Amino acid sequence: MIWAVFLPFILAVFIPFFDKWRQRIHTGFIVTVAPILIFIYFARFIGTNFEPITRSYSWIPSLDINLVFHLDGLSLLFVLLISGIGALVAFYSIYYLDKSEQLGHFYVYFLLFMGSMLGVVLSDNVFVLYSFWEFTSLSSFLLIGFWNFKKESRYGALKSMLITVFGGLSLLGALVFMTILTDTTSIQEMISQHQLILNSEYFPIILTLLLLGAFTKSAQFPFHIWLPDAMEAPTPVSAYLHSATMVKAGIYLIARYSPMMSSNDWFFIIVSSVGIVTLCWGSYMAVRQTDLKGILAFSTISQLGMIMSMLGFGTKVAVFAAVFHILNHATFKGSLFMVAGIVDHETGTRDIRKLGGLMTFLPITATLALFGTFSMAGVPLPFLNGFYSKELFFDATLHLDEIANMGLVGFVKATLPYLAVFGSIFTFVYSMYFFFGTFRGKAHLDSLPKKPHEAPIGMLISPIVLVLGVIVIGLFPNMVNEPFIAHAASAIKGMEVEKHVSFWHGPLYPPLIMSITVLVFGTVLYLARKQWAPAYRFIPGVLSMNKVYDGAVDRLETYSTSITKGYMNGSLGRYVRLVLSAILIVTFAFMAVTGGFTMDFSNLAPLSLPEILVAITMVIAAVATILTNNRITAILILGVVGYGLSMLFVLFRAPDLALTQLIIETVTVALFLLVFYHLPKLRKKEEATSTRVLNLIISIGFGALMTMIAISSHSSKWFDSISSYFLEKSHSLGGGDNVVNVILVDFRGLDTLFEIVVLGIAAMAIYGLIKLPGKKEDN
């Protein structure tokens, strides 16, 4: 199973090589192979006697982070959607994207997304899940910004990234909480210990964080605003990520955790009401859109809201309907996105005001759109899968038997059926608007950038497959139920869920009456849409989440720029001062808090005159470097300090050091004397007194700190020295008697080798700086 998840990643690595032959073979053909293989691999698990399987591979066992893949009914549904729709979209993209586009980039992002999405739905380890989760946000960002020369693409990409990553971080918070509470990183084990989490005092925080993660990813109100802007992506991407798969990751998360959470009242209240509000808002807003993909974007938001609210209900019917609708939505919405892509491709515009009457020019596309839109609208016809799940949805809103009638819960429960019908009416309106606005009515051929004609057959295959899915599921709904949908629903509900779906329940079946209400009111509102369009001036009117988002991003940028400019003014001296002050404050504070400073004078070497004299000389010389304004003087007295140090090395029985120091000091002084002539003369101090005082404070503070650390480390012997090892083994292991040399060339020989490398690099740089001719400045 690990190969199935990593196949897209592995293929992504090789895409750049295939990209070289793009003139002969479109990269898309190679990419299409991967999802087909994955689909075939997983399709064999479909069947009535399916049992969940788990595979684990060690990754970071010490942190309990391992690649554990758990395939149950829910994962299987998503895996098949991801690979199935993925294959169709990859195939469709071959005809959609011209060979002159940056195909290599596109397909690398595409495969990255596919792999990470598979990872999300298969991971049982929460941290692996989180990593894949963020990876989907990242690849979505890259895909939305694929046409990065367009300003709108960049804006949309950034917006989706900011919102979904914000949600991702919330999710991480929730996962960390749950991991700590249950002491496991496995989702299945967390669910089995759900009492620990439900009864914890942190439960409200966990629920909020988890839902934030799911709502942002699945574009629920009020976080839906990123999805319409994400439509700047190439249409195959919109069909794949922003309709069929990635936006359903939030749904998946809620579904995955609902065995744990669904018994909680707040889970019901929040998820149901956010879902149903999203349903209404999305479908209401969709009618206002003029861009075909804009309609589909809001429609996706609204459909996601519907699925979300059903997961919130948590009843058997609702969960079953939710899972069923995930599948149905992927089929009809995927085909509609492809239809929108075809219309865009063949006419040059997606503006529904310019379109119309395309039925005669694109008959096949129009037929596909007819099935897609009518299924989406939930028109009661026995060959449209959308109707079944829509009817089950109505049924679910009426049969919330497991939910109490009291208080807020009761209020939410009572309003749900009305809101469901209300939202569905607008769903009907925008579906009709999409179809009739594009394909019926009068054609305005002169206002179209291109002369429309039917799409090439390759482009039509994928939507045809999806529409066939719509029809087949519509005709034989129970064919997919038992071997497939029921397993997914059982995985969510934690018990057997089976539902026999049938088309006809008699004329007085309440959900049917709701469907007919939708049909009637929807038709009226569609015909009269010009009359009620002014309503948009009041709702949403000037209130818009987009404005909140734009304002927040603007503020953030302004403030962070001004803060950064405040301390990053280009003066290196200032940066050094800041860094040193930070070190001083942190270290002194740490010393004070932990009582790290210790003094122990019991074990000292005796003072003797030569050392004291040398030390005094060095101090005088060091201070003199500051006071002198003569270049030669400064260099020579720096030499004095160096020679003093080598004297100390002699006195402290370090002959090698003394020799090295003497040589190096001599060479350094010589080098200084060679170079100084070319440097400007030292000047009098020209800084303000305040700066000088500050410099003095920082330097004295730092000197004091080093002295204190030296004294403390001498006074406290916490660990045994490892030096005795070198003294003992120097002869036997290193074959030398000079222990210092043996350490350098034998025990730590690699260090010395790299030291030589560093010196070599420095030598080359020096040579280059001296010898290479100076370039004229470009500006």
Partner 1 sequence: MEILMAVLAGILFTTGIYNLLQKQLLRIIIGTGLISHGAHLFILTMGELKRGAPPILTEGVEGYTDPLPQALILTSIVISFGVTSLLLVLAYRAAQVNGTDNMEQLRGNDYE
Between residues 44 and 678, which has the closer beta carbon with respect to partner 1? Answer: 678
Q: 3-state SS of 16-54?
A: HHHHHHCCCCCHHHHHHHHHHHHHHHHHCCCCCCCCCEE
Between residues 541 and 680, which has the closer beta carbon with respect to partner 1? Answer: 680
Rounded to whole angstroms, how far apart are CA atoms 13 and 34? Answer: 13
To partner 1, the closest distance from the beta carbon of 588 in angstroms equals: 14
Between residues 266 and 676, which has the closer beta carbon with respect to partner 1? Answer: 676
Residue 513 near partner 1 by CB under 8 A: no
Q: Where do we find the tokens 């963020």?
A: 134
To partner 1, the closest distance from the beta carbon of 557 in angstroms equals: 15
To partner 1, the closest distance from the beta carbon of 779 in angstroms equals: 10
Rounded to whole angstroms, how far apart are CA atoms 461 and 439? Answer: 20
Residue 640 near partner 1 by CB under 8 A: no
Q: Which of residues 205-264 bind partner 1 (CB under 8 A)?
A: none
To partner 1, the closest distance from the beta carbon of 572 in angstroms equals: 5
Q: Which of residues 689-708 bind partner 1 (CB under 8 A)?
A: 695-696, 698-700, 702-707
Residue 53 near partner 1 by CB under 8 A: no
Residue 722 near partner 1 by CB under 8 A: yes
| Alpha-carbon radius of gyration of the chain | 35
To partner 1, the closest distance from the beta carbon of 248 in angstroms equals: 43
Helix locations, 123-264, DSSP H? 126-144, 151-182, 187-192, 194-198, 203-217, 226-229, 235-239, 249-261
**DSSP string of 257-290, one letter each residue:** HHHHHTTSHHHHHHHHHHHHHHHHHHHHHHTT--
Q: 3-state SS of 95-150?
A: HHCCCCCCHHHHHHHHHHHHHHHHHHHHECEHHHHHHHHHHHHHHHHHHHCCCCCC
Between residues 376 and 739, which has the closer beta carbon with respect to partner 1? Answer: 739
Between residues 475 and 612, which has the closer beta carbon with respect to partner 1? Answer: 612
Which range, of 131-139, 333-341, 537-545, 564-572, touches partner 1 by CB under 8 A? 564-572
3-state secondary structure of 84: helix
Between residues 548 and 704, which has the closer beta carbon with respect to partner 1? Answer: 704
Between residues 429 and 637, which has the closer beta carbon with respect to partner 1? Answer: 637
Q: Which of residues 725-764 bind partner 1 (CB under 8 A)?
A: 726-727, 730-731, 737-740, 743-744, 748, 751-752, 755, 758-759, 762-763
First to last CA, the chain: 57
Residue 723 near partner 1 by CB under 8 A: yes
Which range, of 16-24, 58-66, 236-244, 570-578, touches partner 1 by CB under 8 A? 570-578
Chain centroid, CA 84 distance in Å: 23
Q: Which of residues 649-688 bind partner 1 (CB under 8 A)?
A: 649, 651-657, 660-661, 664, 667-668, 671-672, 675-676, 678-680, 682-683, 686-687
Residue 557 near partner 1 by CB under 8 A: no
Residue type, 59: W
Closest-CA residue to 79 (of 190, 180, 5): 5
Rounded to whole angstroms, how far apart are CA atoms 260 and 178? Answer: 11
Between residues 534 and 774, which has the closer beta carbon with respect to partner 1? Answer: 774
Residue 576 near partner 1 by CB under 8 A: yes
Between residues 519 and 711, which has the closer beta carbon with respect to partner 1? Answer: 711
To partner 1, the closest distance from the beta carbon of 582 in angstroms equals: 14
Residue 583 near partner 1 by CB under 8 A: no
Rounded to whole angstroms, how far apart are CA atoms 426 and 278? Answer: 12
Between residues 425 and 743, which has the closer beta carbon with respect to partner 1? Answer: 743
Residue 765 near partner 1 by CB under 8 A: yes
DSSP 677: T
Which range, of 107-115, 208-216, 444-452, 627-635, touches partner 1 by CB under 8 A? 627-635
Rounded to whole angstroms, how far apart are CA atoms 432 and 539? Answer: 22
To partner 1, the closest distance from the beta carbon of 774 in angstroms equals: 5
User: Is 332 in contact with 376 (CB distance < 8 Å)?
Assistant: yes
Q: Which of residues 594-623 bind partner 1 (CB under 8 A)?
A: 601, 603-608, 611-612, 615, 618-619, 622-623
Between residues 543 and 679, which has the closer beta carbon with respect to partner 1? Answer: 679
Residue 710 near partner 1 by CB under 8 A: yes
* C-alpha torsion angle, residues 467, 470, 476, 480 (rounded to 10): 110
Between residues 155 and 676, which has the closer beta carbon with respect to partner 1? Answer: 676
User: Is 17 in contact with 31 (CB distance < 8 Å)?
Assistant: no
To partner 1, the closest distance from the beta carbon of 587 in angstroms equals: 13
Helix locations, 287-401, DSSP H? 292-313, 316-347, 363-377, 385-398
Between residues 188 and 715, which has the closer beta carbon with respect to partner 1? Answer: 715
Binding footprint of partner 1, residue count (CB under 8 A): 99
Between residues 524 and 620, which has the closer beta carbon with respect to partner 1? Answer: 620
Q: Which of 524, 565, 586, 630 binds partner 1 (CB under 8 A)?
A: 565
Residue 778 near partner 1 by CB under 8 A: no
Q: Which of 15, 328, 642, 647 binds partner 1 (CB under 8 A)?
A: 642
To partner 1, the closest distance from the beta carbon of 675 in angstroms equals: 5
- Give the bridge partners for 277, in sequence order: none
User: Is 614 in contact with 647 (CB distance < 8 Å)?
Assistant: yes
To partner 1, the closest distance from the beta carbon of 731 in angstroms equals: 6
Residue type, 522: G
Residue 693, H or E segment = helix 689-715
Which range, of 145-153, 388-396, 461-469, 635-643, touches partner 1 by CB under 8 A? 635-643
Q: Residue 559 CB: number of other CB atoms within 10 A?
A: 10
Between residues 205 and 758, which has the closer beta carbon with respect to partner 1? Answer: 758
Give the burial string for 193-211 (b: 16+ CB within 10 Å, else e): ebeebeebeebeebbebbb
Chain centroid, CA 423 distance in Å: 31
Between residues 165 and 673, which has the closer beta carbon with respect to partner 1? Answer: 673
- Give the bridge partners for 291, in sequence order: 351
To partner 1, the closest distance from the beta carbon of 593 in angstroms equals: 22
Rounded to whole angstroms, how far apart are CA atoms 706 and 588? Answer: 11
DSSP 701: H
To partner 1, the closest distance from the beta carbon of 151 in angstroms equals: 23
Residue 16 near partner 1 by CB under 8 A: no
